[in-house]
Amino acid sequence: MIKLIIFLIVCLCLSACSFDNGYIIENGNVYFQKPNIKDFQYKKERIKIENADAKTFKILKDGYYAKDNKAVFCEATVINEADPNTFKALSNLIGKDNNSGFFKEKKISNSDGLSFQVITSPYSKDKNNIYYEDKRIVGADINSFEITEQKSFISKDKNAYYNYEIKLQIKDPKTFTQLKDDFWKDKYYVYDISNIYNPKGIILVGVDAESAKVIGLRIIKDKFGCHNGYERVKCDE
């Protein structure tokens, strides 16, 4: 129990102490330092960035991206496909050069660097596409795209709703609204969007959309009784 308490305290500290992340230049070497948990102890892990040029090394936005005269770095990783002459950090997770956009150290395939911009991290766009992290949201309309629920990564355009980069298979996007957390509904069905990688499985078959409401932690009540997202259960109330 004591170890568990210590672990939870450390986790809270790490979530609040992101300022411990960062680049360090020391004795002609470049390091990236970040918090680490090992054996229930808080430690600062320092990673040497091999071949980084300390004299031309420049830390970019929020300390996660950096570059020297030869390369671009995300934390301790060299981004081999990035051009250091034109690379810019747009946020702590998203960057671009004149050729492409990047999420962390990953090049976003077929992205256009010149028109690439952040919407709200981890979403970005260019003149052709919308992206979630390093993945294209297939079919998303650039002009009408918006983020509707940041916590659950729900977005929409004039035609559809998306969770992460996945198009949600819903019956009526015009009446699609959130009940609570992962439970949503339209005028036809109630949905549990936590199962997006099985798109057909998000519909809660037999749950009445008109009377459905969330009454507890993952418990829906409709005119027929209660449902936990998987099956009918006994109502406690």
Q: Where are the domains of the chain?
A: 2-11+20-136, 173-233
Mean pLDDT taken over the chain:
88
Distances (CA, A) of 20 to 34, 46, 68: 6, 11, 22
Q: Is the pLDDT of residue 109 over 90?
A: yes
Output the pTM of the full model. 0.84
Q: What percent of the chain has pLDDT over 90?
A: 75
What is the predicted pLDDT for the residue at 39?
56
Overall average pLDDT of the 106-129 stretch: 97
Separation of alpha carbons 122 and 114, rounded Å? 19
Residue labelled with tokens 């037999």: 206
Q: How confident is the model at residue 35 (pLDDT cuts 50, 70, 90)?
A: confident
CB 114 within 8 A of CB 100: no
Angle at 104 between CA 100 and CA 105, to 5 degrees: 70
Whole-angstrom distance, CA of residue 61 vs CA of residue 131? 20
Output the six-digit token pair for 152.
């659950």
pLDDT for the residue numbered 13: 44
Tokens, residue 18: 């992101």
Task: Report the run of H or E that residue 148 belongs to, with start and end.
Answer: strand 146-149
Pull the structure tokens for residue 204.
């809660």
Query: Is residue 173 scored above 50 in pLDDT?
Result: yes
pLDDT at 18 over 70: no
First to last CA, the chain: 33
For the chain, how many residues are written? 237
